[in-house]
Amino acid sequence: MNMDMNLFMQDMIRQARSEMEASGYEQLKTPEEVDSAISREGTTLFMVNSVCGCAGGIARPAAMHAVHYDKRPDHLVTVFAGQDKEATAQARMHFGDDHLPSSPSFILMKAEK
């Protein structure tokens, strides 16, 4: 049996992205989109997504379930580590030195006027 690994990975990536979008998360694919999201007033939950088992088994399900409460962030966004590398690097620059560049990970940010 010959498996096309690239085709397999693209299917996994497509599924991981669609899970987040279906849950109301906005995909940030460029550094400019990240900067725009950071500047929005209010709270923003960032999820650094990936195709690893921790993301698929724990982080994405947690991200999907965490938004079904009365108190929730104003904005839900996600960057995809390993796929949208420049956007992920830009997001991590805003996270500060105390937040390790891990994927999957979450960070809650608040922008004020």
Q: Which pLDDT belongs to residue 55?
A: 77
Q: Which pLDDT belongs to residue 5?
A: 67
Q: Tens-digit pLDDT profile for the chain (113 aa)?
A: 566 767 778 888 898 899 999 999 999 999 999 999 999 999 999 999 888 777 778 888 889 888 888 888 999 999 998 889 999 999 999 888 777 667 888 999 998 76
Choosing from 12, 54, 67, 93, the catalytic residue is: 54
Choosing from 51, 52, 89, 111, the catalytic residue is: 52
Active-site residue, 89 included: no
Q: Give residue 66's region: left, alpha or beta (phi > 0; psi -120 to 50).
A: alpha
Query: pTM surpassing 0.75?
Result: yes
Active-site residue, 83 included: no
- Domains defined for the chain, CATH in brackets: 1-110 (3.40.30.10)
